[in-house]
Chain A
């Protein structure tokens, strides 16, 4: 279980049909559990084992007819610190939040490397993706693949 606290303001349910890999599933389960371990402010710093890959940004996701919109909270980072990659059915947001000082008397923010793979509800065109970072928020816009509809295999009635 991942015990690294996360500022989960609202946790949505998982959509079982969208789990691309076992790793994604495990990550999503971690996210669900994180809601139960919101950190009291006075938690000693030794509790914070902020290690690479042990935190994930919170996201919002929505879809309209032609696009899928994803937003991730990544305060304190720059566009150069964030990598966005897209396959047909997955969006991966990765990067590293670098710490500027080693002498923090108190720390609640997350530092270090992170990776979050987000299963997409529909196939997208990997060549038509835009990502914009502004005021600590990354906004990714993905265009749904026009051929996605044809991938659905009609089930025929047996003779």
Chain B
């Protein structure tokens, strides 16, 4: 896990979380740190962009997605994945620009881009050749 990202409620991925009226699931996430921003990709198959909430408050990034009940016609023979909403949240470190967060949902994957504040972005210092 990236050094600037911590799970708010460390639990086993995919495990059901309690306290909800219906079962909720933790989506699998991938995190990419580009230096200027964090990109978080969450597997949320079966949802739609309108039913996904992404919130950033007090340094905590949270994702909640409503997934419609999957209808399996007839007699069920196998059920390897459950039906329920997805919920997961992360505490980000300081220095992120909450107003600049963007999110996109495509092919069952939610991609969230959290930019760092310009002041804390790593800067590459160019080394110039001193005049002879």
Contact = CB atoms under 8 A, between A and B. Distances in A.
B98 to A, nearest CB: 20
Contacts of A12: 77-80
Interface residues of A, number: 43
A135 B76 contact: no
Interface string A95-118: 000000101111111000000000
A108 B80 contact: no
Interface string B68-86: 0010111111111110000
Contacts of B73: 62, 64, 67, 69
Interface centre among A39, A40, A107, A108 (most CB of B within 10 A): A108
Contacts of B15: 38
Interface residues of B, number: 41
15 contacts: A7-B28, A9-B80, A10-B79, A38-B13, A38-B14, A40-B10, A41-B7, A61-B78, A71-B72, A73-B46, A75-B107, A104-B31, A109-B41, A121-B77, A136-B109
Interface of B: 1-2, 5, 7, 10-16, 25, 28-34, 41, 43-48, 70, 72-82, 107-109
